[in-house]
Structure 1
């Protein structure tokens, strides 16, 4: 059994760990890994992106790619697809455009998400090689994390959020807001549509549910997953309201299933259920931040709530109710993203992605202790428990 602080066997091989379940760790040699993203391709292969380097936020952090070929039980060797010596490259998203794979990701200066912009790169050979790197969105503070959605009307929807700067103050996320970027010309141009009343709500996941679109959010206040709806193809949204599902100010991901259901992966915990936690992003462990902390009399983001368990939830009624099962449990401490910090080693299970495989199994990946990306293949029988 791999212990907290140790590195697991990161060879990409999926091994049986329980009836109806396979587990493995993606092949990577980096000290720190985070924020994986899965895509089931039209040919049945599974593509996965993540970012890795010495520590999140540092300029040696780059985007990496691996794939699980259809019918295979081992991931291909990792391919490095970005390398900016001045910016930390993070939060990759993958989608298909015809016969091309398209990777998009953020690029920021250390510790300051409000300096980020979004890049993109294309592959015509399934991710073995990649074309030129281009700028997709150049507005400072633009961040992504969630899947691009193509709806029946030929419209593309990409959830993004803005890390809005405050003069003289360090970025902590307290002024972040969500927008939906809409393209009606296959990504050639985009128009931003703000999500009203989305202060502190980020990582929006859009899921088609019949004649509506469901939006689910991470909360900077570490209280609950929030939800809203659109009936006009993503141009306008109802006011986001808290659901019964908790959130710990960590990433979630939701994807539609072929049977009409929804799969959601998240940490089934909120801030008021546990201690310790911290109320801003910056402590003595983190470095490279600029500006002053936020004033004491404003609503502050809540950071440091444990990031565990890693939970799968299935809804068969458009997100009104959910059946949950934990994929992995643990202490989930995440008071630092520095893998060399030994006083309280990181044990988070976080930033999950989920996709439905061609045979109906679900594949989930997530950050394991910041040291690896864990991949778990779950059969319908395992999910039903």
Structure 2
């Protein structure tokens, strides 16, 4: 992993419109190669002035000034997810709510690759029990046309309970139904598992889940997401921060994962690395460091580096709660979304100290698979 320099670019502008930004998502047009990125930004997680922002551009090229795509409803905005549908429409899902346990999911659709958008609508009308559709990572569309969205739910209070599930749509996103991932909570020390990341294998669908236990959990489905195996711990260190996987072959078992490698729950979110597995996520090997905080990312022409808007005595750390995580952003490089680019490389968007969204290009040649 040492000695490899990954190309990284700030794509979120100068950050003058917010104090903190987080939870990016990206897609790339197969026709034009244009990347669309989205994230939430405002004063902090859970703030009423949080909004969902979007930009479009190419690495090393010009990026549109970020613009607000979802705002208001007297609630905070969180966790956008971008995904292309089979008909070429670009969907934007996002969470809205006063607390994580009371999220609703809203969506907008673009027919021109993110330049213009439909009117915003609730994904499942009136459902405010934690949000529907994808919770952080993009959905998979099976050969039969079924949309399988990685989902999870978090209860609030002093003793939260986390569970992973998947939201299925067989009619192109118009209607959704949930399938649960079995989990033995009695065997856990913490809240449980959330925010699964999903890929296809020759044997069906595979997902690994963020957890409160210091290591990731794995679950599989052999019937297109209708039923899932009980989630079991795997030997992949997990620091209770979001991660994202991308399959490296359509019919095989090779997969890459962008993640923070620590095993201390709510521990450091640095470095950010890519690991790979050739056995469908049972075992993993670290391959390359995307971000270690030692070298600033590149800036598009005319863009200034965003300021880290914290007090001089602020320290690194994460204080979780139903109203969001409180953090200074110091030394945080986290919450990646990863996709396979049209040129075969991996594109990874992530939070850079809560003051910028960065996109990195990872050549397939450095992965050793």
Residues 350-382 of structure 1 deviation map (CA, whole Å, 9 limit, x = unaligned): 101111111111111111111111211121234
Q: What SS does the aligned partner of 1:114 have?
A: helix
Q: Is 2:9 the counterpart of 1:38?
A: no
Task: Determine if contact 2:194/2:209 at 8 Å carries over to the other structure.
Answer: yes
Q: How many Å apart are 1:40 and its aligned residue?
A: 2.6
Instruction: Please state how far the C-alpha of 1:237 moved relative to its aligned partner.
Output: 1.1
- CA spacing shift, 1:195–1:339, aligned 2, 3 Å: farther
Structure 1 residue 27: Cα displacement: 2.6
- Give 3-state SS (helix, strand or coil) of 2:342's partner: coil
Alignment match, 1:256: 247
Question: Does structure 1 conserve the Cα–Cα contact (< 8 Å) formed by 2:168 and 2:179?
Answer: yes
Unaligned runs of 5+ residues in structure 1 are 1-17, 272-301, 332-337
Within a 5 Å distance, the mapping from 1:9-20 to structure 2 comes to: none
Give, in angstroms, the shift of residue 72 of structure 1: 6.1
Aligned residues: 322
1:316 alignment counterpart: 278
User: Superposed, which structure 2 residues align to 1:137-216 within 5 Å?
Assistant: 137=124, 138-143=126-131, 144-165=135-156, 169=157, 174-197=160-183, 200-216=192-208
* 2:167 counterpart SS class: strand
Structure 2 SS opposite 1:160:
strand
Poorly superposed stretches of 4+, deviation over 4 Å = none
SS of 1:159's partner is: strand
How many angstroms apart in 2 are the aligned matches of 1:60 and 1:270? 33
Q: CA deviation at 1:45?
A: 2.5
Map of 2:210 onto structure 1: 218
Q: What are structure 2's unaligned runs of at least 5 residues?
A: 186-191, 295-307, 316-327
Q: Residues 212 and 229 of structure 1 are in contact (CA less than 8 Å); yes or no, is this contact kept in structure 2?
A: yes
1:239-278 equivalences in 2 (<5 Å)? 239-258=230-249, 260=252, 261-271=254-264
Provide closer, same or farther for how the CA distance between residues 258 and 209 of structure 1 changes in structure 2, counting only shifts above 3 A. Answer: closer
Contact 1:21 1:382 survives alignment (8 Å): no
Distance 1:228 1:27 in 2: 34
For residue 142 of structure 1, give the secondary structure of its aligned residue in structure 2: coil
In structure 2, how many angstroms separate the alpha carbons of the residues matched to 1:243 and 1:40? 31
Query: Secondary structure of 1:244's match?
Result: strand
Which residue in the other structure is 1:286 paired with? Answer: none
1:1-385 map, 5 Å:
21-28=6-13, 29=15, 30-43=18-31, 44-69=33-58, 73-84=61-72, 86-97=74-85, 98-109=87-98, 112-137=99-124, 138-143=126-131, 144-165=135-156, 169=157, 174-197=160-183, 200-221=192-213, 223-258=214-249, 260=252, 261-271=254-264, 302=265, 304-324=266-286, 325-330=288-293, 339-341=309-311, 342-344=313-315, 345=328, 346-384=330-368
Cα offset, 1:20, TM superposition: 6.8
Q: 1:312 offset after TM fit, Å? A: 0.4
Aligned partners of 1:128, 1:329: CA distance in 2, in Å?
A: 34
Distance 2:95 2:289 in 1: 30
Question: Do the aligned residues in 2 keep the contact of 1:20 with 1:382 (CA within 8 Å)?
Answer: no
Task: Kindly state the Cα deviation for residue 32 of structure 1 after the two structures are TM-superposed.
Answer: 0.9
Separation (CA, whole Å) in 2 of partners of 1:75 and 1:312 = 25
Mapped to 2, the partners of 1:136 and 1:40 lie a distance apart of 23
Aligned to 1:14: none
SS in 1 for 2:365: helix
